[in-house]
Amino acid sequence: MTHPAHITSIIVQKNNKRRFNVFIDEEFRFSVGYTIALTLRPGDVLSPSRIEEIKSADQQEQAYEKSLHYLKFRPRSRQEVVRYLEEKGFAEKAVETTLKRLEFFRYIDDEAFSRFWIDSRERHRPRGEFALRFELKAKGIPDVIIDDMLSGYEETEPAWRAIYPKLRAWKPGDAFELKKKIHAFLNRRGFTYSTCETVFERAVQWMAEHP
């Protein structure tokens, strides 16, 4: 029969002041974060099941803190956070609990993330609708959200912004060569054939006006 154990000491770790080592019956048993440590005291009696509850709660806290750090650099999709936590080795329960907390505080929101991604691409690295769909799909965004976010997407202006800085460098040569360059450049970025044609015609006109 397994008997309850007594916490004999709780000691802060030397290399991480927010982690604490818990000693039971004078032996190290596990470590916990600051939040969990505040709930424990030397002399507390812990059953084996209570110890497992504490370990599980601590892992959930670690997963949440890791996620907040991951989200500091840019917005993330829900699936990106899942992949990140799984790669860090967190258990399924810790991942699920963390996702619920992040969604409750709206730290993750696939609709908001999709808007961010599309706006960022338009400003810095213009992409066609096909490429945007592919990228959002790779981020784990559901089709229904992608369809909604890209409904009525007009890609001509993003395509023109992508091509405009290159026009002077491409100026030498005939129209056929220019057309090949524009189509190749925009095709790689997911723009449609009709968009490529529209931008080519605009480029020809721009060159005529800027000899």
Phi, psi of 139 (to 5 degrees): -85, 0
170 & 193 share domain: yes
Going edge to edge, which strands form the sheet with 5-12?
A: 27-33, 19-24, 5-12, 45-46
- CATH number of the domain to which 94 belongs: 1.10.10.10
pLDDT of residue 159: 96
180 & 148 share domain: no
| Residue pLDDT, tens place only, 59-78 | 999 999 999 999 999 999 99
84 & 118 share domain: no
Q: Look up tokens 């338009």; give the residue.
A: 122
Following DSSP, what letter does each residue of 101-114 receive, concatenated?
HHHHTTS--HHHHH
Average pLDDT of the segment spanning 81-96: 96
Q: What own/partner pairs with CB < 8 Å and gap ≥ 24 does 114-117 have?
A: 114/77, 114/141, 114/145, 114/146, 114/149, 115/149, 116/74, 116/75, 117/75
61 & 86 share domain: yes
CB–CB of 127/120 below 8 Å? no
Q: Is 12 helix (H, G, I), strand (E, B) or coil?
A: strand
Which residues form the domain of 20?
1-46
pLDDT of residue 1: 47
CB–CB of 62/32 below 8 Å? no
Distance CA 137, CA 206 (A): 36
160 & 211 share domain: yes
pLDDT of residue 143: 97
148 & 134 share domain: yes
Q: Is the pLDDT of residue 39 over 70?
A: yes
Q: Is the pLDDT of residue 58 over 60?
A: yes
Count of domains forming the chain: 4
CB–CB of 44/6 below 8 Å? yes
| Residue pLDDT, tens place only, 99-158 | 999 999 999 999 999 999 999 999 999 999 999 999 999 999 999 999 999 999 999 999
61 & 89 share domain: yes
